[in-house]
Structure 1
Amino acid sequence: MAASPEKSRPSAFWPLAAIIVPITGLFARIEIRGAENLPREGAYVLAPNHNSEFDPVIVAVAVWRLGRAPRFMAKESLFKVPVLGAALKATGMVPVPRTSTSANQSMKAAEQIARDGRGVIVYAEGTLTRDPDLWPMRGKTGAVRLALAGDLPLIPMAQWGVQQILPRYGKLKFPRRAHVVVEIGPAMDLSAYADAPTQPATLTKATDEMMNRITAMLSGIRGLPAPAERWNPSQHGQNETGRLES
Structure 2
Amino acid sequence: MGKASGILRVAAAEVGYLEKASNAGLDSKTANAGSNNWTKYGKWYGLNGPEAYWCHMFISWCAAQSGNAGTIPRTASCYNGKDWFAERGRFHLRAAYTPRAGDVVYFSTRQYPNGGGHVGIVEKVENGYVYTIEGNTSGASGVVANGGGVARKSYPLGYPSIYGYGNPKYEQEEPDMTEAQTRAIAKEEANKMQPKRYREVSDMPEYMRADMQVLIDEKVLTGKGGSEADKGLDLTEDMARMLIMMRRMID
Q: Which has the higher helix share?
A: 1
Larger radius of gyration: 2
The verdict on a shared fold, with TM-score over 0.5 as the criterion, is: no
- Give the TM-score of the pair, scaled to structure 1: 0.23
- Give the TM-score of the pair, scaled to structure 2: 0.23
Give the structure, 1 or 2, with the largest relative contact order (CA under 8 Å, sep 6 or more): 1
